Structure formats: C-alpha cells, structure tokens
Amino acid sequence: IFDGPGDERSESPYESADETQTEVSISSKKSERGTGTKKEYVCQCSALLGKMMRCVRCPVAYHAGDVCIAAGCAVIASNSIVCTNHFTAMKGKSHHAHVNVSWCFVCSKGKRMQKLLPYRNVVFFSLYFRARWWPAEVCHPKNVPPNIQKMKHEIGEFPVFFFGSKDYFWTHQARVFPYMEGDRGSRYRGIKGIGKVFKNALQEAEARFREIKLQREAKETQESERRPPPYKHIKVNKPCGKVQIYTADISEIPKCNCKPTDENPCGFDSECLNRMLMYECHPQVCPAGERCQNQCFTKREYPETEIIKTDGKGWGLVAKRDIKKGEFVNEYVGELIDEEECMARIKYAHENDITHFYMLTIDKVTQLSVPLCCFKDS
C-alpha cells in the first residue's frame, strides 16, 4: 500500500529458488468522505484486546505487543509504527531481493497460507540466490545481542537466528516462509560437513517450534480459565447528569382486552393488543392480573444465561436453552446520558484507546451508554 508518491517502492531484481517462498503483501482499504480520506484500521490478529499500534503511512494497525505486530515494523512512538509495507529494496544488495518458487504456495507442499510473520516464529530463510533454505527463528530486535542491534538495517527488516549456529542476520518478510511441523527443508542431504550441521539445525528448529507451540497453548488455556474483568452489575437503567426517567400516569397506560381465564393471557401467541403494539402490560392496569405473560421487563423474566470465554473473541453471554423466534430475551440496560455527555465520552474513549463500549440512541436527546467491560463483539 502506498500512501503517497514518496512511498513508492524502487524496483528490485527477481530471484527464484527450488524451495517454497512467496512475496508477502497486505491489503487494506481507504474509505472516502468528502474531499479527504479516512483510515480503516485492520489488525492481523484479533485474539488479544488492548492498545493499537498504527502505521503513520498507511491504514495498517496491530495490537501492541509481540504477538500481533509483524516482524520488521519500526516503532516510532508508543502507539505509532512504520509497517513492513514500506520496506524499500536497496539497489546493489542481493539479500533485499525477494525469492519466488516454482509451484503454487497455497495448494502444493504444506498448503501453508502466507501471511506477515510476527516475532518468535520458526521459519525457513534463504540468504543467497539458489541457496539452501535454512531453519531460523524470527527475533525481536530488543532480544538480540547489542552488536546485532547496531548492524545497519532498513525499515521492514528484522533479525533471524540460525539454528545449528550462533549467527544472526537481518532480513525481511519476502525471504522467509513459516516452518511447519514435519518440514525437512532442503531436498539434498548429507551426513558430513554442512549436511550434518543442517540436520542438527532441523532438529533444533523442530524442538523450538514445539516449545513455542506449547507456550502459546498454555497461555491460551490460562486465558480461557480467567474470570471476567471486574464490573458493576446493574438491573435497571441508570440516569446520569441532567437525564430524567419520566413515569407515565396510570390513566395514560393502554389497557388490553385479555382475561385471566384465557389459556395464555397476554402470551406470545395471544391476541393481546399491547403485545401487538410492542407495549408491555402494567401490573396495575392489565385485566389478566398476575396471570399476565406480557410483563417480562417488569418481572425480569429472562432466559437463564451464563458467561463464557470464547475462542479468540473475549467474553460472551450465551443462553442455556433454545429461544423461540420473537421471544423476549433480555433488557438492554446501561447509563442514560444526554448528547453532551455522549460526545464527551466518545472523545475520552478516542484519546485513551478505549474501544469496549456501545452507545444506543433512544430518542433525540437521550443515549444509552453500555461499557462492554466483559462482553466483546456483542
């Protein structure tokens, strides 16, 4: 993605190799509004919540931390990066040219889908034209020796550690592809010299791959067993500031024609006038009295639910039984605020990277603010 004329890539020579590799790209979009453009931020990993790191040259964004952010991104501030899309291949540097393969990367060997690699990943790396693909680990620059950190490198490059040796090298996304369990690397073998070193490197890569995999699985298990973050449970809407809840006069409340002797007075399949008009019966007005089945809000007759930890989508609320079409589920409760308070909260959320909230307009002067402290993507 190019944000302007200054971001255009310089041409670089193409190379080919016998083992699997493909060039990496990322797609994102810009939506137009008036004469300007609005950035649409898309994170490559939605498994974690939190602060976003945004590219200052294009719409790409990642969750902060080593789990999501693509290797090679240059961090320029606490929430600003220059992403790997802006890597520029330097003329005269052969290791800057990307490497292609002679078969389909998706449906051939391994069927691995190429994506931008984050840190702490085992990969295969090609240093030279038609060179052996060597197993390596993508390292975060802060975790490599100082002399490696000081080596000259460009935006989009990251250090890799070669298994079977103690060497490091700065490379970029277009010269590596992800290791998969069972990979054997190069097609030629040997038991002496470089062949023996390569065999040992593969064994180290396999062990490291399994170690990282177990660490991630343990972390996911730990996350799934966690309790929801603390929150205050409320049962009714809470007016804030100048907002008031008006109580209707009993004489103004509509009255239905249901009888207490009906099979299902004011029920789901009944001909209750209030139900048809999407009104709830009032306990002091409804002729059906205590048998009225159209007082779910007042009596809080909700289906039984439970809080669960979803797979990569935060906390969620699920019903413990099937719910019929058109059946009442739950009242959406929160803080009732006016437009002034609504705009103030939106501004505060934007300035502090708060994204877990939902606002619903009830009428032209009142909004319902619901902080999503434990329910994500609801």
pLDDT tens digit sequence for 137-165: 999 888 899 999 999 888 888 999 999 88
Q: List, in order, residues 6 or more apart from 146 with CB less than 8 Å away.
A: none
**Among 16-30, 109-123, 144-158, which is the least confidently predicted range?**
16-30
CB of 139 closer than 8 Å to CB of 158:
yes
Closest CA to 341 of 372, 304, 367, 313: 367
- Across the range 66-80, mean pLDDT stands at 85
Written as one string, the DSSP assignment of 300-359 is T-PPPEEEEE-SSS-EEEEESS---TT--------EEEEHHHHHHHHHHHHHTT---EEE
d(CA 231, CA 74): 36
CATH 2.30.30.140 applies to domain 5-223 = yes
Confidence category of residue 216, pLDDT binned at 50, 70, 90 = confident
Instruction: Return the number of other C-beta atoms located less than 10 Å from residue 259's C-beta.
Output: 12
* CA distances, 230 to each of 337, 355, 371, 374 (Å): 23, 17, 12, 8
d(CA 320, CA 304): 6
Confidence category of residue 184, pLDDT binned at 50, 70, 90 = low
Quote the DSSP letter at residue 299: H
The pLDDT value given to residue 21? 31
Residues of the chain with CATH 2.170.270.10: 238-371
The pLDDT value given to residue 2? 32
The pLDDT value given to residue 193? 67
CATH 2.170.270.10 applies to domain 238-371 = yes
Residues of the chain with CATH 2.30.30.140: 5-223
